[in-house]
Structure 1
Amino acid sequence: MMKFRHLRYFVAVAEELNFTHAAERLNMAQPPLSQQTKQMEDDLGTILIERGSRPMRLTRAGGAMLEHATRIW
């Protein structure tokens, strides 16, 4: 089940395109942020962030999710 905080976390990661910077912005540690973002992807059944690319990029689904999440957030 997706939680509101998952959207907040995802928006920070998507805007920063960096887990460390997003974690700093959210005042939390990076590993839990990565885990929560992965949990959101698992819940949705799709990959939102291409983690292996440098710089990190959003997938098409990630871009759509960011658009919807920023309307909510």
Structure 2
Amino acid sequence: MLLLAEPTNHLDLQAALWLEEHLSTRCKSMLVVVSHEEGFLNAVCQEFLHLQDKKLHAYRGDFDAFVDRQL
């Protein structure tokens, strides 16, 4: 398991794009990612856990789909 907290902070564009590509195509480990970068989340994550009212809710799909379900 790989835990990443704001992994694109302090990275230039080239490094952030490399990390995104590496995690989305080559990393076969389970990832736990905390990030405010919506594009990064769309590229890397396929499932989301949302903590609300002391309950975890699981969602499949990219970040945009997760946001659409919240509205």
Query: Would the TM-score normalized by the shorter structure come out above 0.5?
Result: no
Structure having the higher helix fraction is 1
Structure having the higher strand fraction is 2
If asked which structure has higher relative contact order (CA below 8 Å, sep 6+), I would say 1
Please report the TM-score for the alignment, with normalisation by the length of structure 2.
0.30
